[in-house]
Structure 1
Amino acid sequence: MVVFLHGTSRVNEKGHLEIGGVDVVELAETYGTPLYIYDVALIRARARAFQEAFRRHGVRAQVAYASKAFSSIAMVQLAAEEGMSLDVVSGGELHTALVAGFPPERIHFHGNNKSREELAMALESGIGCIVVDNFYELELIEELAEASGRTVPILLRVTPGVEAHTHDYILTGQEDSKFGFDLHNGQADQAFRRVMSAKAFRLLGVHCHIGSQIFETAGFVLATQKVFAKLAEWNREHRFVPEVVNLGGGFGIRYTEEDDPIPVAMYVDCIVEEAKKQAREYELPLPEIWIEPGRSLVGDAGTTIYTIGSRKDVPNVRTYVAVDGGMSDNIRPALYGAKYEAMLANRMWGERTEVVSIAGKCCESGDMLIWDLALPEAKPGDYLAVFCTGAYGYSMANNYNRLPRPAVVFVENGDAQLVVKRETYDDLIQYDLPWKTKVKK
């Protein structure tokens, strides 16, 4: 197995992994492990690649960072620095964005079960768009809009019936989905008529998202065709002219040798060229095109560092090597069989002489991070670097077994900055209340 280093990662003269010009061993010794490290230069490069691809085509566009991949104040501020828009899916993500000072007019609010309180926060904050997912939500928004005298800019999320070639757990664009209004059974038309008959809404256009970790463009072409066919129908019958078409995200990254992602510009080229073609065919003005990359911005910019502890040899079966984290900081392997590559950060040049399986420390047999990993002989105290953990690692981190969530460090140009503190044991119990039994008199 060949480990491919991403972004600014390299092996320094000590044989240590270095990211952003900073020795990972020094980071582990300074901030402890488990530790998430983000390569800021790589995130900036990806953001700029998406935006430059749209500029080359001379079209109006927004590239919105899908903050569910990794949301923190520092990350939101970095997205703002790069001129991105922001996709949030909860009141917590919206609050994070507002506290970070992100321009509310560039925030898009997603989610299949937004609460009245979350929608009220969105309206009061003056965010740029709500992506409406269902009829219940339309009713809530209309009530809130009428009470406040606002007109709410929205997109209708539609399911185009396009299946991306990815894991079943993260498919979202097919007909059997909890998300959106179906294009084929009349729900999207019903939602459109409902919106157009109410003064509370300003319908910008439609949104669709066909899946995640996608390595080809055919699905985006087909989704674009289906979306424009429906928009053309609404234009003919109701003279509706869409301002925005949001084609979602799901652009794949390389986790292991099995993955073969394409350059981000190829996704944009495909989407823009097909949108232009469809607009010409249906004689529609070309809408502003929005996309929502998340994983493809931060996924391979993140590396998790662990300290190796115990070892268990099962003769003629396998050797387990345990680390000081696991499904509490990366639940993806246990949740849907996600695969990763890893190496000893303090012995990058070491000859890989054994094959081991990396076990987490949670009290679950399923807490396995990597099966059958070739490494130099791993010893207690070695640092294991697991690559491409920048998306859905910290976001899905939890306190199972009362493990504190790790710290997060950003590195760039030789500097390291702590952007999320490590939780303490006292943090774990800060909301606990004692149980007091009644005393009989």
Structure 2
Amino acid sequence: MTHMHVAGSIHADVSAPGPQWLTEPKDINALNPSLWSCSVARDASGRLTVGGVDVVSALEREGSPLYLFDEEDFRRRAREFRTAFGGWKVFYAGKAMLTRTIARLVMEEGLHLDVCSGGELQVALTGGMDPTRIGMHGNNKTTDELELALSNNVGCIIVDSLDEIARIEQLCRAHGYRARVMVRVTPGVEAHTHEYIATAHEDQKFGFSIANGQAMVAMVRCHYSPSMQLLGVHSHIGSQIFDTGGFEVAALRTMKLMSQFTDATGVHLPELDLGGGFGVAYTSADSPASPDDLATGLRDIVEHEARAHGMAVPAMSIEPGRAIVGPTTMAVYTVGTVKTVDLDGGGQRVYVSVDGGMSDNIRPALYAAEYSAVLANRCSNETGVLCRVVGKHCEGGDILVRDVFLPSDIAPGDLIAVPTMGAYSREMASNYNHALRPAVVRVHEGQLSPMIRRETMDDLFRLDVGR
């Protein structure tokens, strides 16, 4: 088993039949349980079901394309992280997918929540999230966003620049606030992931560098500021990471920094946040670690580093987002056209076009993210054929699933389901080509209820004020 990361070959050799890891399944109708939420199955007619609701009925009621969110699966994954990391703060990373319903579920399941914009903070607050359990991220927080966070008494602001520290101090002096802060540092870790979602190497926009001394300057500045309470250090090495190796280096460097701070000031910082970025399975080649395995590995790393520096183990935090919400949600599309094309070298590829595309999942076009797909409205007795599932947008790179085996009788009107669509799909959706963003519908105990309604042209026209 190999680890597939989002760093794929964008300019693939079109004569190749497909990636080496992809093999034709023995049963074209089978579902790989590692890719789907816990309640997904096929009913007696071959239709895909989630939470007891079949996808054909869901699309007849809610329209196509559609995101289907499995509430019980979200709750189960949240509990697994909370239990595995008992004694740690588990922050759900709201940037992966955040609605007021999700904020409520996070609160009910006893997690904390991290947000990285004023908009996300407002969604969290109106969804009923306890502000003292919210961490506020962002590399360029505006004065208005900081005011919103401070006036609502958020649990912690993760500071990212000296300019931001100055803004916080100004607001605190003006309104009598005292900010609880952590300093985000860049530990110089090259996480094994795509360049765009690796966030702890030196040449990028986030945090203060440990290597050049900026991190210590920021920590001392916050510690001696009468407007701030410095809680500790924050680090985040990237996303879609399958092992704890990168976290080991990050813990080594951040805890050494905390020890040096203690030597310089005589103050022991109580908290360390190692961030998130834990990977999920998008294809059969992915083998993510379980929450229990992650917890065991990270605990061992932190305890080892604490002993090495002769310091108490700090209060720890992690920030899983994709690992909780990713597998909870599938996207369902309707096939519009099926086209077979000849490739150089004598091969063929079947292009299956659906009624969505890069407007509802930009990740394959942005960094060649790999996905899977199955025929969702029926079973088939035909053999599999190598397909490429594409969208309806006016872009050659409008690809949803680069390589997948689907039944050779795939036809217009069929439904295709794509698993593991909970993270960064609806959140990064756009109106490219004036596409209307799909609805997000919650499935719970056999019932459907909208979380985000489908957009209409009236929604777009309300923003278009020209004549």
TM-score by length of 1: 0.95
Assess if the C-alpha contact under 8 Å between 1:17 and 1:348 holds in 2: no
Q: Tell me how far apart the structure 2 counterparts of residues 233 and 357 of structure 1 sit (CA, whole Å).
A: 53
Aligned match for 1:408, one of 440, 460, 466: 440
- Residue 123 (structure 1) aligned with residue 155 (structure 2): no
- Residue 15 (structure 1) aligned with residue 43 (structure 2): no
- Residue 151 (structure 1) aligned with residue 183 (structure 2): no
Partner of 1:384: 416
For residues 166-315 of structure 1, the aligned pairs below 5 Å read 166-315=193-342
Q: Which runs of 5+ in 2 are unaligned?
A: 1-23, 26-30
Partner of 2:357: 326
Q: Tell me how far apart the structure 1 counterparts of residues 70 and 396 of structure 2 sit (CA, whole Å).
A: 32
Residue 419 of structure 2 aligns with an amino acid whose one-letter code is: F
Residue 8 of structure 1 aligns with an amino acid whose one-letter code is: S
Q: Which moved more, 1:385-394 or 1:17-26?
A: 17-26
Q: Tell me how far apart the structure 2 counterparts of residues 327 and 420 of structure 1 sit (CA, whole Å).
A: 19
Q: Tell me how far apart the structure 2 counterparts of residues 177 and 359 of structure 1 sit (CA, whole Å).
A: 32
Q: Tell me how far apart the structure 2 counterparts of residues 415 and 286 of structure 1 sit (CA, whole Å).
A: 45
Change (3 A) 1:113 1:364: same
Residue 330 of structure 1 aligns with an amino acid whose one-letter code is: N
Assess if the C-alpha contact under 8 Å between 1:352 and 1:374 holds in 2: no
Runs of 4+ in 1 over 4 A off after TM superposition: none
- Residue 399 (structure 1) aligned with residue 431 (structure 2): yes
- Residue 4 (structure 1) aligned with residue 35 (structure 2): no
Q: Tell me how far apart the structure 2 counterparts of residues 246 and 415 of structure 1 sit (CA, whole Å).
A: 38
Query: How far 1:186 sits from its partner (Å)?
Result: 0.7
Partner of 1:38: 69
Partner of 2:107: 80
Q: Tell me how far apart the structure 2 counterparts of residues 351 and 239 of structure 1 sit (CA, whole Å).
A: 71
Query: CA RMSD, aligned part only?
Result: 1.3
Residue 310 of structure 1 aligns with an amino acid whose one-letter code is: T
Q: Tell me how far apart the structure 1 counterparts of residues 382 and 193 of structure 2 sit (CA, whole Å).
A: 34
Assess if the C-alpha contact under 8 Å between 2:117 and 2:138 holds in 1: yes
Q: Tell me how far apart the structure 2 counterparts of residues 339 and 52 of structure 1 sit (CA, whole Å).
A: 30
Partner of 2:453: 421
Identity of matched residues, %: 45
Residue 368 of structure 2 aligns with an amino acid whose one-letter code is: G
Q: Tell me how far apart the structure 2 counterparts of residues 374 and 114 of structure 1 sit (CA, whole Å).
A: 45
- Residue 27 (structure 1) aligned with residue 58 (structure 2): yes
Residue 421 of structure 2 aligns with an amino acid whose one-letter code is: T
Aligned match for 2:385, one of 354, 359, 362: 354
Aligned pair count? 431
- Residue 342 (structure 1) aligned with residue 373 (structure 2): yes
SS at match of 1:299: helix
SS at match of 1:162: coil
Q: Tell me how far apart the structure 1 counterparts of residues 45 and 340 of structure 2 sit (CA, whole Å).
A: 30
Query: How far 1:380 sits from its partner (Å)?
Result: 1.2
State the Cα deviation string for residues 287-323 of structure 1 (Å, max 9, x = none). 2111100100011111000000022332454222210
Q: Tell me how far apart the structure 2 counterparts of residues 178 and 121 of structure 1 sit (CA, whole Å).
A: 23
Q: Which runs of 5+ in 1 are unaligned?
A: 436-441
Q: Tell me how far apart the structure 2 counterparts of residues 394 and 348 of structure 1 sit (CA, whole Å).
A: 28
Query: How far 1:349 sits from its partner (Å)?
Result: 4.9
Assess if the C-alpha contact under 8 Å between 1:131 and 1:156 holds in 2: yes
Residue 32 of structure 2 aligns with an amino acid whose one-letter code is: F
SS at match of 1:114: coil
Assess if the C-alpha contact under 8 Å between 2:350 and 2:385 holds in 1: no
Assess if the C-alpha contact under 8 Å between 1:309 and 1:324 holds in 2: yes
Q: Tell me how far apart the structure 2 counterparts of residues 348 and 287 of structure 1 sit (CA, whole Å).
A: 53
Q: Which moved more, 1:281-290 or 1:323-332?
A: 281-290
Query: How far 1:350 sits from its partner (Å)?
Result: 4.5
SS at match of 2:268: coil
Residue 295 of structure 1 aligns with an amino acid whose one-letter code is: R
Partner of 1:71: 98
Assess if the C-alpha contact under 8 Å between 1:69 and 1:298 holds in 2: yes
Assess if the C-alpha contact under 8 Å between 1:307 and 1:323 holds in 2: yes
Residue 149 of structure 2 aligns with an amino acid whose one-letter code is: A
Assess if the C-alpha contact under 8 Å between 1:108 and 1:127 holds in 2: yes
Q: Tell me how far apart the structure 2 counterparts of residues 194 and 237 of structure 1 sit (CA, whole Å).
A: 13
Assess if the C-alpha contact under 8 Å between 1:251 and 1:264 holds in 2: no
State the Cα deviation string for residues 92-137 of structure 1 (Å, max 9, x = none). 0001011111100001000101001100111111100000011111
Q: Tell me how far apart the structure 1 counterparts of residues 321 and 379 of structure 2 sit (CA, whole Å).
A: 29
Partner of 2:28: none
Assess if the C-alpha contact under 8 Å between 2:371 and 2:402 holds in 1: no
Query: How far 1:373 sits from its partner (Å)?
Result: 2.1
Q: Tell me how far apart the structure 1 counterparts of residues 293 and 174 of structure 2 sit (CA, whole Å).
A: 45
Residue 4 of structure 1 aligns with an amino acid whose one-letter code is: N
Assess if the C-alpha contact under 8 Å between 1:357 and 1:371 holds in 2: yes
Q: Tell me how far apart the structure 1 counterparts of residues 238 and 101 of structure 2 sit (CA, whole Å).
A: 27
Residue 360 of structure 2 aligns with an amino acid whose one-letter code is: D
SS at match of 1:247: strand
Residue 434 of structure 2 aligns with an amino acid whose one-letter code is: R
Assess if the C-alpha contact under 8 Å between 2:45 and 2:379 holds in 1: no
SS at match of 1:267: helix
Query: How far 1:352 sits from its partner (Å)?
Result: 3.8
Q: Tell me how far apart the structure 2 counterparts of residues 323 and 123 of structure 1 sit (CA, whole Å).
A: 45
